[in-house]
């Protein structure tokens, strides 16, 4: 069943909506009419085998790649119709992106990597560094502030990457296999930090993973098969999840 047939999460509005996405690379069809809604404040896992189109779907939703057909809507705007300048502004302010290997700038310290999005948005160096330090603290890597990526463990680097993605307090974070390069313990630490911090900030998370244990951290799970989204898990709102844990 396509997720457009699925009932929306009660109590949470749709933040980003994708409908009928098609994307090809040469003769290879990565997406074949994929449709998906990401709700405000929810953590949504998209699972599927290698080559199923998961990363392409994320790139379309984040405005990194324009689909050949279909539409992605955010805040009443269709991303495919926006200028590159407008899309860049959205990725600086409203969207955060985390990749499997973090993609930190190797010449910069952890603090400078996290402060960079703020500096690009026009924040002065002093306030930017202060906020960057606070976000490093949230992810438990304040002690690594002066280290460069090559001087940190994989788990530490990925938590720095998460801090960088969240430092602008975006509406949505797109995480593409964020634990794929980590061992089990480091992966659990990264996911725990991501989930808790996103919940506190009210940030929606689109999580791409092939790992069922990682997908279990999400409120809702859908599967991508042959370029089309299929329902694989029930919807659970953030409020319902919090109530369940409190109970």
Residue from 160, 74, 76 nearest 115 by CA: 160
Class of the CATH domain delimited by 1-94+171-247: alpha beta
pLDDT tens for 90-108 read: 988 899 999 877 689 999 9
Structure tokens that stand for 208 in this block: 């791409």
pLDDT level of residue 8 (50, 70, 90 thresholds): very low
pLDDT value of residue 180:
84
Tens digit of each residue's pLDDT (9 = 90 or more) over 9-35:
444 699 999 999 999 999 999 999 999
pLDDT mean over 140-150: 95
Q: Are strands 69-74 and 14-25 parallel, antiparallel or unpaired?
A: antiparallel
**For position 92, what pLDDT does the model report?**
84
pTM: 0.84
Residue boundaries of the structural domains of the chain:
1-94+171-247, 98-169
pLDDT of residue 121: 87
**Cross-sheet strand order for the sheet of 69-74:** 28-39, 14-25, 69-74, 77-78
Q: If DSSP codes are grouped into helix, strand and coil, which group holds residue 225?
A: strand
pLDDT tens for each residue of 173-230:
999 998 888 888 888 988 998 999 999 999 999 999 988 999 999 999 999 998 999 8
Which stretch of 26-40, 95-109, 158-172, 231-245 has the lowest confidence by average pLDDT?
231-245
Is 179 in contact with 102 (CB distance < 8 Å)?
no
**In a 3-state reduction of DSSP, which class is residue 89?**
helix
């Amino acid at each position: 069943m396509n997720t457009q047939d699925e009932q929306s999460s009660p109590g949470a509005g749709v933040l980003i909506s994708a409908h009928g996405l098609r994307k090809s690379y040469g003769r290879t069809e990565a997406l074949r009419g994929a449709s998906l809604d990401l709700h405000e404040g929810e953590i949504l896992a998209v699972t599927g085998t290698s080559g199923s189109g998961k990363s392409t779907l994320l790139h379309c939703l984040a405005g990194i790649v324009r689909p050949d057909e279909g539409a992605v809507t955010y805040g009443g705007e269709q991303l495919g119709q926006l200028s590159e300048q407008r899309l860049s502004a959205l990725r600086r302010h409203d969207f955060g992106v985390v990749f499997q290997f973090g993609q930190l700038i190797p010449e910069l310290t952890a603090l400078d990597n996290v402060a960079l999005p703020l500096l690009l948005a026009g924040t002065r160096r002093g306030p930017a560094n202060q906020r960057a330090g606070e976000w490093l603290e949230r992810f438990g890597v304040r002690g690594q502030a002066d280290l460069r990526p090559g001087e940190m463990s994989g788990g530490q680097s990925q938590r720095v990457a998460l801090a960088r993605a969240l430092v602008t307090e975006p509406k949505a974070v797109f995480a593409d296999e964020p634990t794929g390069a980590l061992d089990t313990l480091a992966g659990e630490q990264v996911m725990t930090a991501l989930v808790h911090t996103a919940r506190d900030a009210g940030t929606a998370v689109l999580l791409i993973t092939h790992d069922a244990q990682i997908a279990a951290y999400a409120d809702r799970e859908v599967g991508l098969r042959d370029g089309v989204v299929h329902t694989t898990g029930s919807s659970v709102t953030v409020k319902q999840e919090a109530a369940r844990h409190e109970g």
